[in-house]
Structure formats: C-alpha cells, structure tokens
Chain A
Amino acid sequence: MDGGLSGQDPACGAGGRAGSRAAAAAALGAGLGGSVQVRHVDAGSCNGCEIEIGQAFGPVYDAERHGVRLVASPRHADVLTVTGPVTVNMAQPLRATYEAMPRPRLVVAVGDCARDCGVFAGGHGVLGPVGDVVPVDVRVPGCPPEPAAIVAALRGVSGR
C-alpha cells in the first residue's frame, strides 16, 4: 500500500518540489531533521484553505508519513501555518502565537490571501498579508492551494 501511494504521490510533482527548495535549506539549518510539528492559525480565512489543510492530513495525502503532525499547542510546534489575510482582530493573536513558539520556528503562509490578501485586499477589517505581521519563510500559492502543494511545502520544511 505504501508503494502504491507513493507511486501516484501528487506531492512528487515538479511544482511542489521547486516551490520548497529554499525552504528545505532553511529547515536543514533549523535542524528539524524529518520531523515537523504544525500549529495552524486561521487569521481571517474564508475556510477554503482549512478544508485543503484538513485533506493534507487525511488518508489520501497523509502528511503524517512525511513526519508532519498537527499539534495542540504552539509550544510544541516548529511550523506555524497561517491562512487568510490577517484581520485587525487576529493580528495580535497571530503575533502572540508566533511569540509562544520555541526557536527555531518557521512560518508557512498557505493560500493567496496569506501571501497578498487575495480577493480581500483593501477590504474592511483587513490589516494586510501575513508577512506584515510575522516573518514568513515559505509561501504556498493557490486559492485554495491543493493539498498536494501544502504537503509538498511541509515536506520541504521537514526535509523528507
């Protein structure tokens, strides 16, 4: 079953690999060594990206086989995934979450909104993209990005 899945592994697509090469280097510097614990923050997303992230950890894409796990506390996390444009009310919680994580810590901005506010740019209550609030290490484009792209980004970070 393992072989079958990896044979048709969508994450092996060229785009996924290329997008995360720089991140892989960053991750190796961070010493994550094939283990990534992820804390997710919805900073104002329409929840489309959340559905895709959920799929990334589901049975089909199964990010766990690459050493990626979702955790319950930012204290346990190495990677912060952020979705959506950062709203005014979520800016401080996002900053607090980042501050609560132990170093080394990485931020993965998932989706177009997280990169540049997407369709919500200039909207009421929108503060700006994630990069304005916390330093972003990896960006995953797409509205919403495919689970494969998310898995690829996380694999890049984990180095596996």
Chain B
Amino acid sequence: MSAWVTAAVQAVLVAAVAPLVIGLMRAVRARLEGRAGGRLAQPWRDLRKQLRKEPVIPADAGMFFTAAPVVLMATSVLVAGAAPYLSTAGPLPGVADLVVVVGLLLLGTVALALAGLDTGTAFGGMGASREMTIAALVEPTLLLAVFALSTRVGATDLGAIVAAGATDPARVFTPAGALAAAALAIATLAEAGRLPVDNPATHLELTMVHEAMVLEYAGRDLALVEWAASMRLTILLGLLANLFIPWGVASGAQPAALVLAAGVFVVKLAALGGLVAAGEVFVAKLRLFRVPELLAGSFVLGLLAVIASSVLA
C-alpha cells in the first residue's frame, strides 16, 4: 500500500515541479541575457490560464488530435509515478523497467506526431516528420546508455539500477558510466526538445520541431501538451540525476526518507536544469541535418558505454 502512496507522491511531485523547472530555466536564461525575466511560477500561471480556455480542433482532424494530449499526459504521469525518483521500491516494478519507460515516452511522442499529421497542415506534418526522425535516433541511445548501467545489476529494472548506484556509488564513476552519462545527456536534450536540437522559444515555423506539431492546439489541450512536455524534461533530467548522482534516494516508503528524498531530488533537478539553461545561452540551434550527426555521436557513445561496461565488468 505504502508503495502506491510513494508512486502517487512521486507523480504529483514531478507534475508540480515540472513547470517550475521550465520557469527556472527561463529565469536563468533571462538573467544571463541581461533581462529580468518572468517569475519561477510563470509557467504555472500559463497552464492555469490555458486550462480554462476553449480548446479548438481543426476541421479535418479527428480522434487522434483530441486523444494525443491525454495520452501524452498519461504516459508522462505513469512514468513519473513508476520510475525511481524518490524511492527505489516502487509499486510497479514491471512499469519501472528501463525498456518500458523508454517505450512509454516514445508512445507519447508518437501520439503527438500522429496528432500533428492529423491536423492536415504542412507544419504539423513537418514537425511530426522531424520529431520522428530525431526520436528514431534518440530512443536507441536512451536504451543503450542505461543498458551500460544495467549490466552490473543484471536486470533492466530502473529501481534496481538506482539502488545499486546508491549502495555503491564508486561503480557509477567508471569509464563506462562517464560514456553513458554523456550519451544520456545528449539524448535527454534531444528528447526534451532543447538546444541545440530544437529551440523551444522559436517563432519561425521552418525551424520548428516540437512546436510545429502543437501549433494547432489551444486551451486545455495545449495546457496538457505543455505540461506533459515539461514533465518529460523533468522525467529525463530526474533519471539522469538519480542514475549518475545516486545519493539521497529512499529505499523504502518511510515518510522521513521520502521527504528527504524529495528535497534532494528538487535540488538535483534545479542544478541540472540551471546547468542546461546556462549552457543553452552559449549554443545556437544546429541545422536540422546536422542533428543526426550529433545523435549518431551519442549513439556511438552509448554503444561504447555498453561494451566498456561488459569488458571492464
């Protein structure tokens, strides 16, 4: 029972913190650009307002368009609840599996890509095409990077992997771990649509990837899409944090440990988010057809990580 409470707490925490992570990243970016910028909670205000507004559906779109936001949100919440963020003993070990988590994230991407195609607009199709091209190269990298860590526990259960890192942090800081961290970091940026793969703040349709797919969404649907998108960033950053900074994660469901874990988790997220935002100030978006080179590089890093982890195991 308590494991279910943990899962619910995790899901709520990730859902609540995700817009704040975006707000923090915008704030860091604004400060580095010499602006005052919005407040931390501004994304939450945006969501609250969008949730109250009227959703609009394009004339030729159908079920796929209306279903995509809720499917995207459902996959994000499920992953947020099941993956080991606060505690390594989740209620659903069969969902906290690495392959399942990557598959669920991919399911969300697919739902959104189909929605983009369902609108029948050129931009929707363009965004979907680009997003799937990137996803086709990112998902393998995500899998490979975490596989490198899973070999030492002999299973793909994320809870077990994080628990192993927490009990023996020295085994995380190996050459294989470093390679995997680099691969996972690049994959995280690409999957969450951050620079240099995609510019979340762009207004030029021809440079858009994620934004182009969601151009047609309005009101409640848009709120769900943006919320889920921010949750995906938090999910991936949190995974990166707990896999490679394996301290502070609870191993059970004791309230005190959970509170501590939540605090540590938020601090890790803030640090990683701030780091990403600071890095983004200094890079430009890559040309679309240079992105695969970056992703191929991270794919090779992931492959090397897996090989290194088995050779040096």
Residues of chain A whose beta carbon lies under 8 Å from any beta carbon of chain B: 1-2, 5, 31-35, 37, 59, 62, 64-67, 69-73, 75-76, 78, 100-104
Chain B residues whose CB sits within 8 angstroms of the CB of A78 once the complex forms = 49, 53
Q: Is the C-beta of B133 less than 8 angstroms from some C-beta in chain A?
A: no
Interface of B is mostly: loop
Q: Is the C-beta of B308 less than 8 angstroms from some C-beta in chain A?
A: no
User: In the docked arrangement, what's the CA distance between A3 and B69, Å?
Assistant: 39
Evaluate contact between A62 and B202: CB separation under 8 angstroms.
no
User: In the docked arrangement, what's the CA distance between A66 and B30, Å?
Assistant: 13
Evaluate contact between A73 and B49: CB separation under 8 angstroms.
no
Evaluate contact between B37 and A102: CB separation under 8 angstroms.
no
Q: Is the C-beta of B168 less than 8 angstroms from some C-beta in chain A?
A: no
Minimum CB–CB distance from A104 to chain B (whole Å) comes to 7
Q: Which of B39, B53, B222 contacts A104 (CB 8 A)?
A: B53
Considering the complex of A and B, which 5 residue pairs feature the smallest CB-CB distances, nearest first?
A102-B218, A75-B218, A35-B45, A73-B215, A102-B54
Evaluate contact between A62 and B42: CB separation under 8 angstroms.
no
User: In the docked arrangement, what's the CA distance between A77 and B77, Å?
Assistant: 27
Chain B residues whose CB sits within 8 angstroms of the CB of A102 once the complex forms = 53-56, 218-219
- Identify 8 residue pairs between A and B in the complex whose beta-carbon atoms are under 8 Å apart, listed by A's number: A1-B36, A33-B49, A35-B48, A37-B46, A59-B34, A62-B37, A72-B211, A75-B222
User: In the docked arrangement, what's the CA distance between A74 and B176, Å?
Assistant: 47
Closest to A64 in B: B38
Closest to A103 in B: B54
Q: Which of B31, B52, B205 contacts A72 (CB 8 A)?
A: B205
Closest to B204 in A: A72
Evaluate contact between A76 and B222: CB separation under 8 angstroms.
yes
Query: How many interface residues does chain B have, given as a range?
Result: 20 to 34
Minimum CB–CB distance from A5 to chain B (whole Å) comes to 5
Chain A residues whose CB sits within 8 angstroms of the CB of B30 once the complex forms = 62, 64-65
Chain B residues whose CB sits within 8 angstroms of the CB of A73 once the complex forms = 215-216
Minimum CB–CB distance from B22 to chain A (whole Å) comes to 12
Evaluate contact between A72 and B36: CB separation under 8 angstroms.
no
Chain A residues whose CB sits within 8 angstroms of the CB of B218 once the complex forms = 75-76, 101-102
User: In the docked arrangement, what's the CA distance between A31 and B34, Å?
Assistant: 31
Q: Which of A37, A65, A69, A103 contacts B35 (CB 8 A)?
A: A65
Q: For chain B residues 191-219, which have a beta carbon within 8 Å of chain A?
A: 202-205, 208, 211, 215-219
Asked whether A72 and B202 contact (CB < 8 A) given A34-B45, A35-B48, the answer is yes
Q: For chain B residues 49-91, which have a beta carbon within 8 Å of chain A?
A: 49, 52-56
Chain A residues whose CB sits within 8 angstroms of the CB of B55 once the complex forms = 102
Closest to B202 in A: A72
Known: A72-B203, A75-B216. 13 other contacts (CB 8 A): A31-B52, A34-B45, A35-B42, A35-B46, A59-B35, A64-B36, A64-B37, A65-B30, A67-B46, A75-B222, A76-B215, A76-B218, A78-B49
